[in-house]
Structure 1
């Protein structure tokens, strides 16, 4: 999969959120050195780019 985040002015407001569902959130979190949080619906981690846009990555609970 490829995800293109636009840098064009006006495409999205600052602090935008993209949520990605993945099979193994732990390996993604380890790759970026960030913790995994427990939520009632999923195990999740969150990354922010320099502009403050958020990528939340989660593995749904069974």
Structure 2
């Protein structure tokens, strides 16, 4: 995925949310703990530019 604005410099602190089947697998790959929300089990990562990547598995 490549985030880009068409005019000027891209903003930092953008948030992208990815829904996945098993967030625990990704959490273990990055060595982070999951957090439970009423709608999903999730993690949040930041890329080198400060953009937030939120990854979650919806709760049933």
TM-score scaled by structure 1? 0.83
Structure 1: stretches of 5+ with no match in the other structure? none
Give runs of ≥4 in structure 1 deviating > 6 Å: none
1:13 aligns with 2:11: yes
1:28 and 1:9 mapped to 2: Cα distance? 33
| Aligned-residue CA RMSD (Å) | 1.9
Residue-pair matches, total = 59
Query: How far is 1:11 from its partner?
Result: 5.6
DSSP 3-state at the match of 2:28: helix
2:56 corresponds to which residue? Answer: 58
Structure 2: stretches of 5+ with no match in the other structure? none
TM-score scaled by structure 2? 0.85
Q: 31, 34, 37: which is aligned to 1:33?
A: 31
